[in-house]
């Protein structure tokens, strides 16, 4: 079993990847993160909390004035101004997060925990306190927050709080463990299923992942009138399907891969068909990931989902 030495108080680096974000939304997010860092520091569980943005937008999403505003917001909570990195290229979520984690190494800010955070989030004041409390075991490499207003339906163990995989919307992951598995797989999973893949690779190394029901994060999701679930984004239909096919390949489920393709051929949308065609091109070119050894011990494909669902 992998073991992580976790000094207390911990260092926490909050990483947010942007793509054309609304400045007001970023102000709100910054306000909430700064507050959570402040309270976690007061509680003695965080020694140093930093906020860093990686911007994948074609043009900088934040102006100099925006950054001054963010610095003022942080100052009210006695937190250092956020770092801002304009990548000048779309590195997508996985690439952006990896780059931010690598920058930490370059700036001697490695160690401790990374909080991978979606830009449409507003964290609860006690989020870090609660997540670090649940992370307080040597074999826990990542902790997932409880999403509000629409909780993720994925199951978790009602006693141990262990999960099959942890959502990347608000994910506390140990920096060293993240680095040891190579971070997110930005080539196969630039956006979708990158959290599932990261989670299962962490578990393959013997780490546990836990759910922190006491740590709430507001994730701005709107309800689909038809399903009662969050509305899918425009990209989700095609890119999500391609990610699923790659995931079934990496985790050695050719049966599910074939089944998915046949279902798409029979019932899929145009976007899904295009994704299936793209997968076949990648497969013909030998560009799909090879199955991981021991994949079946961590991969939970259940009724078309990843892991069991509670409802």
Where on the chain is the footprint of another protein (CB under 8 A)?
24-25, 28, 31-32, 34-35, 39, 76-77, 120, 122, 124-126, 130, 134, 146, 148-151, 153, 158-159, 161, 212-214, 216, 218, 220-223, 225, 227-229, 310-311
| Strand order, beta sheet including 10-18 | 83-86, 46-55, 10-18, 113-117, 170-174, 140-148, 208-219, 121-123
- Please identify, using beta-carbon distances, which residue of 212 and 242 lies nearer to another protein: 212
Alpha-helical (H) ranges within the chain are 23-42, 64-76, 92-106, 127-134, 175-180, 194-204, 236-250, 254-267, 270-284
- Please identify, using beta-carbon distances, which residue of 110 and 148 lies nearer to another protein: 148
- Please identify, using beta-carbon distances, which residue of 128 and 264 lies nearer to another protein: 128
- Cα distance between residue 156 and residue 94, in whole Å: 25
- Please identify, using beta-carbon distances, which residue of 25 and 291 lies nearer to another protein: 25
Query: What is the 8-class DSSP label of residue 309?
Result: B
Non-local CB neighbours of 162 within 8 Å, separated by 6+ positions? 156, 208, 209, 210, 211
The distance of closest approach from Cβ of residue 31 to another protein in the complex, given in angstroms and rounded to an integer, is 5
The distance of closest approach from Cβ of residue 232 to another protein in the complex, given in angstroms and rounded to an integer, is 15
Is there a contact between 53 and 62 (Cβ–Cβ < 8 Å)? Answer: yes
The distance of closest approach from Cβ of residue 76 to another protein in the complex, given in angstroms and rounded to an integer, is 6
- Please identify, using beta-carbon distances, which residue of 36 and 188 lies nearer to another protein: 36
The distance of closest approach from Cβ of residue 257 to another protein in the complex, given in angstroms and rounded to an integer, is 28
Query: What is the residue whose two structure tokens read 């800010």?
Result: 109
The distance of closest approach from Cβ of residue 131 to another protein in the complex, given in angstroms and rounded to an integer, is 11
């Amino acid at each position: 079993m992998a073991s992580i030495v976790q000094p207390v108080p911990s260092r926490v680096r909050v990483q947010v990847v942007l793509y054309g974000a609304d400045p007001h939304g970023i102000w709100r997010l910054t306000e909430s993160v700064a507050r959570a860092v402040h309270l976690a520091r007061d509680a003695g569980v965080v020694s140093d909390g930093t906020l860093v943005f990686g911007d994948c937008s074609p043009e900088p999403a934040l102006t100099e004035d925006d950054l001054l505003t963010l610095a003022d917001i942080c100052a009210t909570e006695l937190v250092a101004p956020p770092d801002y990195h304009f990548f000048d290229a779309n590195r997508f979520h996985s690439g952006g997060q990896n780059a931010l984690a690598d920058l930490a190494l370059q700036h001697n800010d490695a160690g401790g925990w990374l909080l991978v955070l979606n830009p449409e989030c507003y964290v609860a004041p006690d989020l870090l306190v609660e997540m670090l409390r649940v992370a307080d075991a040597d074999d826990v490499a990542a902790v997932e927050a409880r999403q509000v207003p629409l909780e993720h339906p994925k199951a978790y163990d009602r006693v141990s709080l262990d999960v099959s995989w942890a959502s990347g919307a608000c994910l506390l992951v140990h920096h060293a463990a993240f680095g040891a598995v190579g971070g997110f797989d930005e080539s196969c999973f630039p956006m979708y299923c990158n959290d599932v893949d990261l989670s299962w690779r962490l578990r393959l190394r013997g780490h546990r992942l836990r759910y922190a029901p006491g740590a709430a994060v507001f994730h701005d999701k709107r309800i689909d009138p038809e399903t009662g679930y969050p509305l899918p984004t425009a990209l989700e239909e095609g890119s999500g399907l391609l990610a699923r096919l790659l995931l079934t390949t990496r985790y050695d489920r050719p049966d599910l891969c074939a089944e998915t393709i046949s279902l798409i051929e029979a019932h899929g949308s145009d976007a899904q068909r295009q994704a299936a065609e793209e997968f076949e091109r990648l497969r013909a070119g030998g560009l799909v990931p090879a199955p991981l050894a021991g994949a079946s011990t961590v991969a939970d494909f259940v009724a078309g989902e990843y892991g069991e669902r509670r409802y």
